[in-house]
Structure 1
Amino acid sequence: MNKQNNKYRWVVFASVLFAYFIIVSQRTAPGLISDQLMKEFNITASMIGLLTSIQFLAYAGLQIPIGILSDRFGPNYFLIIGTLLNGIGTLIYSIAPNEFILLIARLLVGAGDAAIWVNLVLILSIWFKVNEFVGLLGVAGMTGSFGFLLATVPFSKWISDFGWRPPFLTTGILLCLIGIILYFILVKIPQGNASTTSKAKVKAVKQRENPLVLLRRIFSTRQAWATFFCHFGAVGTYVGFIGSWAVPYGMHVFDMSRSGSSQLIMIGLVGAIIGAPAGSWISGKLHSIKKTYVAVHIIIFTSWAAFLLFSGKPPFFLLVTLFFLIGFGNGASALTFAVVRQSFPMKEVGVVSGFANTGGFISAVLLPSLFGKVLDHFHGAPSSVGYYYGFIIPVVFTLIGFIGGILIKEQRQGASQTEFSISN
């Protein structure tokens, strides 16, 4: 099967993106019930932060190993296993009797989620031509934003009507079914259509570079660290906050209902939906990913800093604007993988993508937990006080992201093409 010219690639594209859409919703859906979990299980804000952090810790810790394994053995089975782990973890979460089981469930979800984005990038690289890749990466970024959108008003309404357990139970079952369907779409059907020659090629395994040598080279490369820092600032601040404290922030500081807070987050998701294709389009017009990405980091740094300027409680019209801009920056973070794809050989795209993605989710690990500790420290003070000091954390993190943008090594060669150097 000539994958890059076969119409079947669009079936692969649609099925993989649908799985990603549902999985992404489960990154932040638990943030809708933070206060309910605190009441039902009698746990602290720090424990809520830990529940979010352990999910992203598993995600971040597995990115590089999965990148190495996926480059070596192919992405299909890892994507399928990741989807099934997400489903099983979500099922366990829905029936958890105590906080220990909640932690185990989120650990499984994080481990499964770790296998999704890196392998999605690899699958698109295999099935689509280079000139199609960047545009489809923007579509994938939009799909993730729609997944986050699902975890706002729709999921919040579902929880309000039926309680929090049934929605997570149903989603877990759906993810397990999707994992089974992906097996047929990614493995069974392509194998049935593969020629004897193609199968022989698959069996001819080439000599691979020692993983330790590969990692040592990547860890000493300025371009890899630039993508790591960029993702650290753009992704973790957004995902970590909306996945844990955004809904309580709206409820406690602005006296909004749960649904109202979800609608506020939805504004940020609209920004993310626009940011993914807009970032690709602007960088194309400027013939520079670096200039576009540096501007994005300036926007999100300024937006988080505005929360400090207004003592944790900006005027409502400004609050809406800030959530939109922060979301826009998260959507534009797909530029991280455009840099990776154009900077490194195809055989290293998986591991470097995993390394860059690790940056985003280390940030997402740290922010909820640190934010929770700040809120616990100021327990008893007006809510805006705790959030004011908490917002120092994303300000510092986005400053690191801006430094990453500056570190991107870009060499312009002609008006129509931008190439990246991977010199140290």
Structure 2
Amino acid sequence: MPILSGRCAVLLFACLAFVASAVPESPAVARETRGGSFLSQLGLPWQGSRASSRRARKPATAKKRPAAAKPAARRASKPAAKPAPRPVPKPVAEPAPTPVVETPAPPKRAEAGAPGVPLPPERPRDEPPAPPVETVARAEPDGPTAPEPPKESPEASVPVPPERPDGDARTAALIPKAPLPAEKPAGPAPPDLPLPETSREEDADCRELTSEGVAIFKPAELSDQPEICRTGALVELSGVRRKDGGVVELKPAATLRCAMARVVAAYVRNDLAPAAEASGAKLDAVNVAGSYACRGRNNVSGAKLSEHGRANALDISGFGLSGGRSVGVYAKELPELLGVVVKGAACTRFNTVLGPGSDEAHEDHLHVDLQPRRSNSRLCQWRPD
């Protein structure tokens, strides 16, 4: 009984194996086994003959079913006569990383505008420049409308008012501007040391000038003197008596202070007239280039007050000699002895003497004055011969 049971079991197992091998496997099972069913991997003895019988019937079934319909794993496992080795599972390949495509950034403009404000498109380099405002066509009042200027041109975007028709020209009335007051020239600056201001009766020089009888003069009253140029009593000196009784005229008469008039009279009477007579001529006149004038030094506005502004200076341009001759103060025709005395006596009697070589303003006349100085010094500027 046990033997029969074992044989029955073997037969039953063989039938089951035959049926299992005859039934076609699904593609999913074929892929999992990779070599057929699990019974085919046992290597049973009848599987070899079964496989050959299936290969014999394969051409018939191939006509009914396309070759692509059969799984590739089943075709590979059927011809195996020996048990196929257990396949080693292949390592699953990692999926290839997805390439990251970088989106190119938009090109940056050279000059970024304000945030939120769109920038105008860049003008091509070969594009001709926009015409100026003056050449842009305008709309006539009664004529056709001219084409609008291009939008790309910033100058053309400015609206231009229409031109007035001929005959309708109007001139705007301009409000006349009030004339500005004329700037007063800067007056002279005060001198370093003031001169005494006394009346004619109290001035000792005026009394002596009258008692000496040498000078020919008359009182000078200048009521319109500026305050800075006001000084003591003034006289208008017109002549000086020579020792021989003749008169040396001052042309024109010089307006001087009494102290300056006394020194000028002594210079003409005691120095110039005798020198001219010793040279064989008589001194008839002294040509005056300037005396009183309220101004700055060398006529410079804003400079210190000149001694002429205080009637304390005299400018001599030449001399009149006997016979009607007129000679310049620096002329070569001047008698030599008279020329020597003109210079030497002037530097002795006056506090300031400006002759040739002192400056350009005194190249054509001789300047003498009685400017007071704290050191009581004298100034004699004269180019040496």
Name the structure where strand makes up a greater proportion of residues: 2
Query: Quick check: which has more Rg, 1 or 2?
Result: 2
User: What band does the TM-score fall into relative to the shorter chain?
Assistant: under 0.3
| Structure with higher RCO (Cα < 8 A, 6+ apart) | 1
Name the structure where helix makes up a greater proportion of residues: 1
